[in-house]
Amino acid sequence: MSLEIHYKSPNGRYQAKFSGDHKEIFEQQAAFEEIFCNNTSCGKCDSEDTRLNVREVDGNKYYQRVCNKCQYSFSFGQKKKGGALFPKTAMGWTKYTAPKEEDDDSPKPKGVKK
């Protein structure tokens, strides 16, 4: 049996549509919540004022949630097979280093644990 559901995140920030059988919808919603509904408040200052950020260095893309208040970031990794994102919970929130406009492709120093 194929179903379609319209989902709104607990904080109301995101909406999504999932379709498939019960297990497919369960898997889609779980993957969505893992990226968009968890780790939304800053792990350093508890601010809810965070944004998603993608930066590219040497052809590699880095996915993060960045706090607009204290500039700490939470990183996401990419699975080798399929490229799905996953939260790097072992790293936690680290100090965000914004890329320089004139030197956008240069390697950035690694973050410092809180």
How many other C-beta atoms lie within 10 A of the C-beta of residue 39?
Answer: 19
Residue 63's contacts (CB-CB under 8 Å, 6 or more residues apart) are 52, 53, 54, 75, 76, 78, 85
Which pLDDT value is given to residue 114? 44
Which pLDDT value is given to residue 21? 96
Which pLDDT value is given to residue 97? 79
Which pLDDT value is given to residue 82? 86
Which pLDDT value is given to residue 105? 52
Which pLDDT value is given to residue 112? 44
What are the extents of the domains in the chain? Answer: 1-38, 41-101
Which pLDDT value is given to residue 72? 95
Mean pLDDT by 10 residues, the chain (114 residues): 92 93 95 91 94 93 95 92 87 79 51 46
First-to-final CA distance of the chain: 48
Q: Where are the beta strands (DSSP E) in the chain?
A: 3-8, 15-20, 50-57, 60-67, 72-78, 85-87, 93-95
